[in-house]
Amino acid sequence: MKKLICLLLAALLVCSLAACGGANKGSENKDDGDKDFVWTRQGYFSDEEENILSILPSEFEEYPGWYVGCFLGDDMYGWYIQQEGKTLHGNIVEEGGEEEFIVTVSEEGEDGVLLATPDGKTYHFKPMEMPDATIFVHINTEGRGAICYAEGEETPEFDPDYPYQSAQINLAEPKVHTLLAVSNVEGWQFVKWTKDGEDYSTDAQITVELAESADYVAVFEELYG
């Protein structure tokens, strides 16, 4: 689940970067014989090794094609690539990245996709089952700090390599979660949590039953002197 959240946040970030403009360096379809092929497989996919793949149509004229993002082990990639014949092919390292990561994505079976990487590895993905959420909980920060969370009452594990400034928890039924505000920026301290704009707690770690849609904000203030 944590990988999926990271991938969702990365997709949102890349979309915001794309909105700033730029030219896509992808190529046109190479095989004219396949030019009428329509790519239809999109959404979120996973494999037996818990790798995650997202395939989403681009919403930007400057970046035609498809946004392909993936979590392969601990490595995360994501950028816009083009359809070439019956595959999606291109570099999924964000523009300006130091090294390319060229992938080829093709259909596999009735609903799966096959991802081939530059080193010859192949990953076999199937569609992920996404719950029908009715409870939408947004977690954000105000000031400079980070948040993390976990299902249940255990202390969440903060990952300094992927610090969250925001997150969203979508639930089909009420569940208990623990939220933790982390003062990971020198010169800033945690002050309080708010819920829907009202003061909620001055404890950095809170355990709450998420039974209704709500907005939680971890507030940080800068230290002086």
Domain ranges of the chain: 2-127, 135-222
CATH 1.10.540 matches 135-222: no
pLDDT tens, residue by residue, 187-198:
999 999 999 999
Measured CA to CA, the distance from residue 142 to residue 137 in angstroms comes to 16
pLDDT tens, residue by residue, 159-198:
888 788 888 888 989 999 999 999 999 999 999 999 999 9
pLDDT tops 80 at residue 131: no
CATH 1.10.10 matches 2-127: no
54 touches 7 (CB < 8 A):
yes
pTM of the model: 0.53
What's the average model confidence in pLDDT over 149-166? 90
